[in-house]
A = this chain, B = another copy of it.
């Protein structure tokens, strides 16, 4: 952690916090992870890379202005939901989902307010979940994302795209056969879709961004993406949706959260995480079909639902060992700390 002295720096601090914020989307409290991930976005589209920074800066600055807890700010915890809301609003209002479009001034103001609003939503959800020692995850993003997306199709001043991006398995052909590209593209794009990047190369770069900080987390992300892709194929999901990584991004996040980040990494939590990843795959399709009539994307809602359901009751199950969010660093350190504590007793 050689970069830690930046966190206290007067002007460079914000840069550090922003990069950590981008890393926190995939649970990595590391500016280097954030930088590599940002590079992954840049490879796909400079617009998304810029919006990602802008969103993270806005929500982090909002936390600074509101005088939120400085250690939370320094860990990038006020940044990741703001980044995701920015990306979502651009993704679903651009004519070309893949590269995005530069937002109009009216849309930009709207988007920045949405990012700022995630800071309040994060504090609120954290307050509600505090007694249960469960993290807000990306719920602020999902909630604010949905609330701010409903309207973009209608207001005159916000130039909504044709929502060209399919949001449900239903909108893909069920005829296309699975082939080799389905697999390596589907798995990579599953990780890319966490950041709305419909690009499998970006996905693998993001995976590298995770590896540099935690190999267990990266392994679980990859495993989750594989499970999402595989389960979808076994249950006859449409090839296009699988290749687009739509089935896999929620299961990748779920596998990471349960496999080491918020539960000590053990064989039992490993199996628990796999179960969660399977359920998250099915429920992505389920929620997608539910939301399709109103044209809303699933975002990371099934990741949040499955992970919350599997964590809120964690103290009732002796088979798993919870890691309170305030103490969670990397799966490796969480495990080491737990083993040390067990030895002491």
Q: Which A residues have a C-beta under 8 Å from some C-beta of B?
A: 65-69, 106, 110, 113, 116-117, 120-128, 131-132, 147-151, 153-158, 169-170, 174, 234-237, 275, 278-279, 282-283, 285-287, 289-290, 293-294, 305, 308-320
Q: Is the CB of A279 within 8 A of B113?
A: yes
CB-CB under 8 A from A282, the residues of chain B are 110, 113, 148, 151
Residue of A308, A317, A319 with most partner-chain B CB within 10 A: A317
Q: Which one, B283, B294, B312, contacts A124 given CB within 8 A?
A: B312
What are 21 inter-chain pairs, A to B, with CB distance below 8 A?
A68-B317, A113-B275, A113-B278, A113-B282, A116-B275, A117-B279, A120-B310, A122-B313, A123-B314, A123-B316, A125-B312, A127-B312, A147-B305, A148-B286, A150-B286, A150-B290, A151-B283, A155-B237, A156-B174, A156-B236, A157-B234
Q: Is the CB of B66 within 8 A of A154?
A: no
Main secondary structure of the interface of A (DSSP, over half): helix
This chain: copies in complex: 3
CB-CB under 8 A from A294, the residues of chain B are 290, 293
Q: Is the CB of B289 within 8 A of A151?
A: yes
Q: Is the CB of A154 within 8 A of B170?
A: yes
Q: Is the CB of A127 within 8 A of B316?
A: yes
Q: Which one, B120, B287, B289, B312, contacts A313 given CB within 8 A?
A: B120
Q: Which one, B113, B116, B123, B169, contacts A317 given CB within 8 A?
A: B123
